[in-house]
Amino acid sequence: MSDKKALLSSIPSVDELLNNEHITKLLDIYPRTVLVDSIREYLKKYRESILQAEDVHKLVLSHNSIIDGIIAYVKDKSGNNLKNVINGTGVVLHTNLGRACISPAVIDNLVKISSRYSNLEMDLAKGSRGSRYDHVEEILCYLTKAEAAMVVNNNAAAVMLVLSTMAKDGEVIVSRGQLVEIGGSFRVPDVMAQSGAKLVEVGTTNKTHLWDYEKAIGDNTKALMKVHTSNYRIIGFTEEVKSDELVDLGRKKGIPVIEDLGSGMLIDLSKYGLPYEPTVQEAIASGMDVVTFSGDKMLGGPQAGIIVGKRKYIDEMKKNPLTRAFRIDKMTLAALEGTLKLYLDEQRAIKEIPVLRMLTEDKEEIRKRAEKLYNKLMHSLEDKCSMLLCDDYSEVGGGSMPMHKMPTIVISISSDRISVNQLENKLRSNETPIITRISKDRILIDMRTIWEDEFDIIEEALIKALE
């Protein structure tokens, strides 16, 4: 205990620290109040670490370490909480890492629109009030061949708005095999309950027939709903009613048919080697009255919920008070319009929308990038770790194409100097955090989701972690 007392009394005072030349320099960057508060907070933690230490001799304590600690603490505290990370997981649509990276091609306009005034809600031809939805409606209709379109904050809001507008106080029939839960607690039955519509489940988990829907239709049936089971597959003895059959039934009974596509694709990626998934155009062509999908899944744009379909329903949605609560903001609209424009030329979309580029990139292209980074890292780290280039598989993520494994190349690292968990932790705590995978006691950096301009940061972080 006396050791602890001696240590505690050796801690310099705030005033002493403020006179230190390295700390004084920080005043050029940070306000004095911020600096003083940070020093106090740091010293408090420092004291606590001494008090809680079981063996004080194990603590590295010195005047210099306090100064270094304070500098790092102020820097860390004053930096943004929300910051770029390097995604070494290979999961292209990583929900924890912000899902889709927006195309660099649309960023300039996004910055311009958000930092100055815009015609967000002004009809410039008439000089009167306009609608924020007009800016993307035409291109959405052009791309999907739908009659009308609108956008809200995310697809969960889109589904809620659709159900609340079309089926409030009525019944909606959904197959038991499609009552999905999407990460982050979006559950079809819960969203349905919130919207004021009553869920009528039909069929069984693995099989639902057209006559299941037909039998469940009653006087109060307001819609038939299909939900794309994006994040899981039921395989084996299964049956689902095809969209056009469901649409035919709806027409015959005068009931609208809606589809939550989840991950909305505008390009059939099966020609690029990915599994077939129904596109938005196909859903519209099948006769669906209303289709909803996300902006930041396979579409590769900003977070948004896109609704396309028959004009009479979309017009009603625009008047629903929920639309005001779910309304999309101008930054998102700017990014969404820019992303949609890229789809006018499919080759351009594949090249310039990061999600599409990463998903369609073949292993040999990834290998080239991997070799470049590998050579760079070998140059500076050769004697500090064991490093290999290996074949592996990456995932789509975002609850999309759950069974699909994409062949990729990973850089696999281990070192005698540090455990694999410590290395993972150090990389994750880097100033620009690097998120990696651990497999068989090695760190894996999947090159599918690594950008070439991130190589220097990765090299620096590894040098620091293994020094």
Ligand X SMILES: *Cc1c(COP(=O)(O)O)cnc(C)c1O
Sequence-separated (6 or more) residues with CB below 8 Å from residue 381: 387, 459, 462, 463, 466
Binding residue (CB under 6 A) for ligand X from 17, 86, 92, 227: 227
Please give the full DSSP string across 291-334, using - where no structure is assigned.
EEEESSSTT-SSS-EEEEE-HHHHHHHHHSHHHHHTBPPHHHHH
Q: Which H helix or E strand runs over 165? A: helix 155-167
Q: Does 178 bind ligand X (CB under 6 A)?
A: no
Query: Chain centroid to CA 393: how far?
Result: 20
Stretch of 178-186, 249-257, 270-278, 280-288 lying at the interface with ligand X (CB under 6 A): 178-186
Residue closer to ligand X by CB (options 213, 293) is: 293
Stretch of 6-14, 40-48, 151-159, 239-247 lying at the interface with ligand X (CB under 6 A): 151-159
**Three-state DSSP class for residue 459:** helix
Least distance between ligand X and beta carbon 229 (Å): 7
Q: Does 263 bind ligand X (CB under 6 A)?
A: yes
Residue closer to ligand X by CB (options 223, 427) is: 223
Between residue 357 and residue 386, which ones bind ligand X under the rule CB under 6 A?
Answer: none
Q: Does 155 bind ligand X (CB under 6 A)?
A: yes
**Three-state DSSP class for residue 439:** strand
Residue closer to ligand X by CB (options 69, 402) is: 402
Number of residues that bind ligand X (CB under 6 A): 15
Residue closer to ligand X by CB (options 264, 354) is: 264
Stretch of 226-234, 369-377, 411-419, 443-451 lying at the interface with ligand X (CB under 6 A): 226-234
Least distance between ligand X and beta carbon 168 (Å): 19
Q: Does 335 bind ligand X (CB under 6 A)?
A: no
Binding residue (CB under 6 A) for ligand X from 35, 43, 113, 182: 182
**Three-state DSSP class for residue 145:** coil
Least distance between ligand X and beta carbon 135 (Å): 20
Spatial contact of 376 and 459, defined as CB atoms under 8 Å apart: yes
Residue closer to ligand X by CB (options 155, 281) is: 155
Stretch of 63-71, 129-137, 161-169, 225-233 lying at the interface with ligand X (CB under 6 A): 225-233
Binding residue (CB under 6 A) for ligand X from 135, 228, 341, 437: 228
Between residue 308 and residue 327, which ones bind ligand X under the rule CB under 6 A?
Answer: none
Cα Rg of the chain (Å, integer): 27
Q: At what angle do helices 330-342 and 104-115 cross, to 10 degrees?
A: 150
- Give, in order, the Cα–Cα distances in Å from 349 to each of 267, 340, 360, 411: 9, 9, 11, 28
Q: At what angle do helices 455-465 and 363-381 cross, to 10 degrees?
A: 40
Q: How far apart are CA 146 and CA 137, in angstroms?
A: 10
**Three-state DSSP class for residue 129:** strand
Q: Does 175 bind ligand X (CB under 6 A)?
A: no
Least distance between ligand X and beta carbon 295 (Å): 7
Sequence-separated (6 or more) residues with CB below 8 Å from residue 434: 85, 86, 88, 427, 428, 445, 457, 458, 461
Least distance between ligand X and beta carbon 137 (Å): 19
Q: How far apart are CA 210 and CA 257, in angstroms?
A: 13
By beta-carbon distance, which residue lies closest to ligand X? 262
Binding residue (CB under 6 A) for ligand X from 170, 177, 203, 262: 262
Query: Chain centroid to CA 391: how far?
Result: 26
Q: Does 186 bind ligand X (CB under 6 A)?
A: yes
Binding residue (CB under 6 A) for ligand X from 87, 103, 144, 154: 154
Residue closer to ligand X by CB (options 401, 423) is: 401
Q: Does 339 bind ligand X (CB under 6 A)?
A: no
Q: Does 305 bind ligand X (CB under 6 A)?
A: yes
Tell me the CB-side half-sphere exposure of residue 159, using CA atoms within 13 A: 26
Sequence-separated (6 or more) residues with CB below 8 Å from residue 443: 412, 413, 414, 420, 423, 424, 427, 436, 437
Q: Does 294 bind ligand X (CB under 6 A)?
A: yes
Stretch of 168-176, 200-208, 227-235, 371-379 lying at the interface with ligand X (CB under 6 A): 227-235
β-bridge partners, 140: none
Q: What is the DSSP letter of 11?
A: S
Q: Which residues bind ligand X (CB under 6 A)?
A: 154-156, 180, 182, 186, 227-228, 230, 260, 262-263, 294, 305, 399
